[in-house]
Amino acid sequence: MIDILSQHTRDIVKSTAPVLAEHGTTITTVFYRNLFEAHPELLNVFNHANQAQGRQQAALANAVYAAAVHIDNLENILPAVVQIAHKHVSLGIKPEHYPIVGEFLLKAIKEVLGDAATDEILSAWEAAYGVIANAFIGVEDSMYKEAREQEHGWNFFKPFTVVRKVQESGSITSFYLKPTDGSNVPDYKPGQYISVRVLIPGEQYTMIRQYSLSQAPKPDEFRISVKREETNDPNGVVSVYLHNQVNEGDTVEVSAPAGEFLLDTSIITPVAFISGGVGITPMMSMLETVANVTPDRPVVFLHSARNESLAAFGTDIEKHAASLSNVKTRTFYSGGPDGVITGEILKSYVDVTGDAYVCGPVPFMEAMIGELRKLGMTEAQIHYEFFGPALQLSNA
């Protein structure tokens, strides 16, 4: 991947890193504005809520900056490429999208930097973008192939019927989904997610959201568990629609499972699941899988909710825990006397020789990951996922 770029090109790209650190978000904001003006059809793919909140712009700025910093050794960004590629495949990004993005990214660099963006700088970035785009296309091609060729697999989106809708808490509802054509679903790994695509009445464009699969793999169905966001929150458009207007018997479009926040089911060393809010959803798939596959594995399950009415899956947690021979579970209410999960609590519950899986709001995860590191757990032992674009955790 590196040898395609000349040393001169790499030097130029590296020299622009400080400029990207300063102007990156401005460049990506201009990029998205111009891109959608010229290609409004791409609004069928991009998350409007992330655009409205500036999260997508910040995530792309981070990615461009990382490419500049690591241009001498692009293998360093391959883990990020793989993570983003999973998201791209779940959204249905295609090779023909990359030249469009490259064209408007270069135009945005020129528009924001003006004369400072010389022809030489733009040519270097065009070459660098081509190399990085080809890396994404190659990784995504193999992911599409794997998704398509696995048993019961497919690419892009497929109609699913809502066969059951179950309220799990004051804010979370589960949707049980089966292929409308009567086929089975592919196997998936605990922790993966699917994309759900809907066309909401009155909206011009389709909307896509990712939701963790919230139960252990079943042959004929998926389960997602969706938190209802506030109606005036940009994130809430799809969740409110699902809660209020999508009922049993209705159809939504679904992508094949994706993601690399995965439970290692091949080991039986101690494992701790630590979640906040709707971050509990992938943990339910993981907990049920351990109960089914390795019931003697030592398990800790810690969950934080604002109050009892917002704590989901209590009955499921008890049921899965009953199948485990060595398990500790506890729910904390951040608005009550139990308070939040502290470093002391983690110290008393978590076996630091094992693995920890963390999911929830970014501040919650930063706190949990920081405390686990203080207890001596290594990067390889701490696994985490947060919802939304690949924003960087401040302590990651």
Catalytic residues: 98, 140
Q: Which residues pair with 359 in a beta bridge?
A: 275, 385
CA distance 112 to 117: 9
Measured in residues, the chain has a length of 396
Q: Is 360 annotated as contributing to ligand binding? A: no
Indicate the pairing of strand 355-359 with strand 382-385: parallel
Q: Is 130 annotated as contributing to ligand binding? A: no
Q: Is 370 annotated as contributing to ligand binding? A: no
Helix (H) or strand (E) holding 273: strand 271-276
Burial of 296 (0-12, 13-18, 19+ CB in 10 A): exposed
Structure tokens at 2: 């590196």
CA distance 62 to 5: 21
Q: Is 376 annotated as contributing to ligand binding? A: no
Nearest to 361 by CA among 327, 330, 334, 329: 334
Residues 6+ apart with CB under 8 A from 262: 189, 190, 191, 192, 383
Q: Is 335 annotated as contributing to ligand binding? A: no
Coil, helix or strand for 106?
A: helix
Sign of CA dihedral 108, 109, 114, 120: negative
∠ CA 239-240-245, rounded to 5°: 110
Backbone torsion region of residue 114, taken as left when φ is above 0, otherwise alpha when ψ lies between -120 and 50, otherwise beta: left
CA distance 177 to 188: 15
Q: Is 387 annotated as contributing to ligand binding? A: yes
- For the chain, the C-alpha Rg in angstroms (whole number) is 22
Q: Is 95 annotated as contributing to ligand binding? A: no
The Cα diameter of the chain in Å comes to 67
Q: Is 279 annotated as contributing to ligand binding? A: yes
Q: Is 88 annotated as contributing to ligand binding? A: yes
- Residue written as tokens 């109609």? 159
Q: Is 389 annotated as contributing to ligand binding? A: yes
Q: Is 282 annotated as contributing to ligand binding? A: yes
Q: Is 215 annotated as contributing to ligand binding? A: no
Coil, helix or strand for 278?
A: helix
One DSSP character per residue, 205-253 reads: S-EEEEEEB-S---SS-EEEEEEPPPTTSTTHHHHHHHHHH--TT-EEE
Annotated binding site: 88, 193, 209-212, 277-282, 386-389
Annotated binding site for FAD: 193, 209-212, 386-389
Give binding residues for heme b as ranges: 88
Residue stretches of the annotated binding site for NADP(+): 277-282
